Amino acid sequence: MKTKKRVYYTLIGLYGVFLVYSWQFDFTLGKIIGRNFFDFLFSMITILPVSFILIGLFEVWINRETVEKHFGHASGYRGYLWAIILSGTTVGGAYVAFPVGHALYQKGARLSIVLTYIGSAALTRIPMTIFEATFLGPKFALLRLGVSLPLVVLAAMVLGRLFDHKKS
């Protein structure tokens, strides 16, 4: 255990030394890596705290019965539709989709519906779809959604069945 921590801290220290060296001696690639790291860190700091607060409120305010009714085994195909609609309103991409998916699963959502939510969160975000329709045309945006979403749902159903059988 101590060896893993030592390696971890050594790597972080070496990364820090590399960044300082890059800025000190004008190493362009290192400066770009450092800038990308701090841009990513800033985006994480601005998105994650708010999303974790909202997920915590979801855990407290939403009843398990409500989640089971709309996303559980008895929801049928409506659960997939709800997952796609919910994923379209998710802000923050995968940073938020995975914790929300976990919260849904803990509250009784069917695994295939959670997988549909996570998969479609990358495809159906409303701002991204509007941006895409503006620059590539609404026909392209609708075609992409019409092809991608059924494939996401189909893959989620297959994976859900596969993992449900392994669990039993």
The percentage of the chain sitting over the pLDDT mark of 90, rounded to a whole number, equals: 52
What pLDDT is attached to residue 114? Answer: 95
CA distance 82 to 75: 10
Q: How confident is the model at residue 4 (pLDDT cuts 50, 70, 90)?
A: confident
pLDDT digits (tens, 9 = 90+) for 106-120: 999 999 999 999 999
**The pLDDT of residue 71:** 93
Comparing CA positions, the residue from 52, 125, 51, 131 lying closest to residue 84 is 125
Token pair, residue 36, equals 């990308």
